[in-house]
Amino acid sequence: MRRIWIMALILIGAYSRISTSRRPGFSRDINLEGDNSGWQAGLIFTQLLHKLALSATLGYADAFGPSDKVLRFNTPQPDKMLSYSLSSGYLVLPFVYKDYKEPNFNLYFELLGKTDPGSGESYLDLAPAVQVILNSRTRIDLGYRFQATGNMANRYLKNMYLLRAEFNFFNVLK
């Protein structure tokens, strides 16, 4: 009898962000990409299984407190938020991966959620997308994000199209 051992390598990373914004808050959702001031940190777990990439994220955000603790329409100002996501990407092309310089075409799907621990309000969004990666450095995504379930009021990012272009610099600080 022959035994075949499969080793599953799970990569773990950490992230953090500090943001400031002068924009007044009108949403229960804490968004540190221009809407709120605050900090966030979290962990990312990633696994690659042949042509399928799986990733899970768990994070915590804390908004810098404004002097006013109430948003418009008597909605309480959020100050803490738990975030979580599950994503998968499947390499469609090339059929046989030979080189890092080859363009990749991927189908991508994300479950994105947040929970306000103070009020218990939460949401879960679905986000399918197509993704092109050029020369292993340039990433272009085209997708749509929509709410599947939730009870968080006054969200900016409830339903939206996404066009993302990202360029990564590797080994800059040698």
Residue 174 lies in a domain: no
Domains in the chain, number: 1
- Looking at residues 4-22, what average pLDDT do you find? 77
pLDDT cut 70: percent of the chain above it: 85
163: in domain = yes
- The pLDDT score that the predictor gives to residue 148 is 94
Task: Tell me, yes or no, whether 173 lies in a domain.
Answer: no
| Residue 165: both structure tokens together | 């272009």
From 145, 148, 137, select the one nearest 163 (Cα to Cα): 145
Residue of 81 and 98 predicted with greater confidence: 81
Assess whether pLDDT exceeds 70 at residue 128: yes
| 8 Å CB contact between 25 and 65 | no
Distance, CA of 14 to CA of 140 (rounded, Å): 23
Decide if 44 is inside a domain. Answer: yes
In a domain, 42, yes or no: yes
* Contact assessment for residue 67 and residue 145, using Cβ atoms and an 8 Å cutoff: no
- Check whether 41 has a pLDDT greater than 80: yes
Its domain, for residue 114, covers 11-167
Could you tell me how many residues make up the chain? 174
Closest CA to 142 of 127, 126, 131: 131
Residue 8, pLDDT score: 61
Any domain includes 93? yes
Which pLDDT value is given to residue 66?
59
84: pLDDT confidence band, cut at 50, 70 and 90?
very high
